[in-house]
Amino acid sequence: MSRRRRIYEGKAKTLFEGPEPGTIVQYFKDDATAFNNQKKGTITGKGVINNRISEFLMTKLGEIGVPTHFIRRLNMREQLIRQVEIIPLEVVVRNVAAGSFAKRFGLEEGTQLPRSIMEFFYKNDELADPMVTEEHITAFGWATPQDLDDIVALTLRVNDFLFGLFLGCGIKLIDFKIEFGRLYEDDMVRIVLADEISPDSCLLWDLRTNEKLDKDRFRRPRQGRGSLSGGRAAARHSHRPGAGRRARPHDPAVK
């Protein structure tokens, strides 16, 4: 048996060198973190389920023509993916106000937004992922205007598709975060969906009862299950440093 080379150790995933050049093995851990790593825990079996969910969603998105890094699932916890150059952005789409967004704009959790809103955050744990605009992204060279056009177009397709898919299962897609990478193939480079899509990176509520079916159950375990009032109460009580998905510097609660 030979030892695999570990390329990257993340909060919820580990990346190993893949069997062929240009491939990577993505291993899904049971570790859960929240509030920019201030809360840590283990959810037994989470990695197995997220591996499956991400496989399913990436495969379906591939079928509608959204290019992704996904190649195939290898086993319960691992999938084979294409090696990409990760663009250091978290692309967030919000359909309903919740979490940090609801707090930022003083909206009640659960408020339907007039239209889907896309936001960008610079991936940097030390800076707590600051929100950025297209100006920052292109000026600092994280992505070109052409890259951004592709990212926006793909993200809108991902939102439309996921929203409908979850709706069909009685689930409301409140918001989600995705990441993109550059895939180099011969003399071509293209933007593809990377990382994962799972209940770790989405807010998903039961359509009928508003019960939270996502990682918020780990972030805010004491809130009333299945009730919107629980969400509002949790948002009201979360005006303390570190509360919310990210402890962002622009958040008035964060000093």
Q: Which residues bind ligand 5GP (CB under 6 A)?
A: 90, 92, 99-101, 175-177, 200-203, 215, 244-246
Give whichever of 19 and 53 is closer to ligand 5GP, judged by the CB atom.
53
Which residue in the block uniquely carries the two structure tokens 């109460």? 233
CB of 5 to ligand 5GP, least distance (A): 24
Give whichever of 17 and 206 is closer to ligand 5GP, judged by the CB atom.
206
- The answer for residues whose C-beta is within 8 angstroms of residue 177's C-beta and 6 or more apart is 90, 91, 92, 201, 202
> Facing residues of 94 across strands?
117, 175
CB of 186 to ligand 5GP, least distance (A): 32
Give whichever of 4 and 236 is closer to ligand 5GP, judged by the CB atom.
236
CB of 190 to ligand 5GP, least distance (A): 24
Helix, strand, or coil (residue 207):
coil
Select the residue whose beta carbon is closest to ligand 5GP and give its number.
245
Within 13 Å of residue 224, how many CA atoms lie on the same side as its CB?
A: 12
CB of 93 to ligand 5GP, least distance (A): 8
Give whichever of 18 and 199 is closer to ligand 5GP, judged by the CB atom.
199
Residue among 62, 85, 70 at smallest CA distance from 28: 70
CB of 173 to ligand 5GP, least distance (A): 9
CB of 194 to ligand 5GP, least distance (A): 13
Residue among 101, 66, 97 at smallest CA distance from 178: 66
- Integer angstrom CA distances of residue 188 from 23, 88, 123, 185, 193: 17, 20, 25, 5, 16
Give whichever of 49 and 184 is closer to ligand 5GP, judged by the CB atom.
49
* Rounded distance between C-alpha atoms, residue 28 and residue 49, angstroms: 9
Specify the length of the chain in residues: 255
Give whichever of 17 and 228 is closer to ligand 5GP, judged by the CB atom.
228
DSSP state letter for 158: H
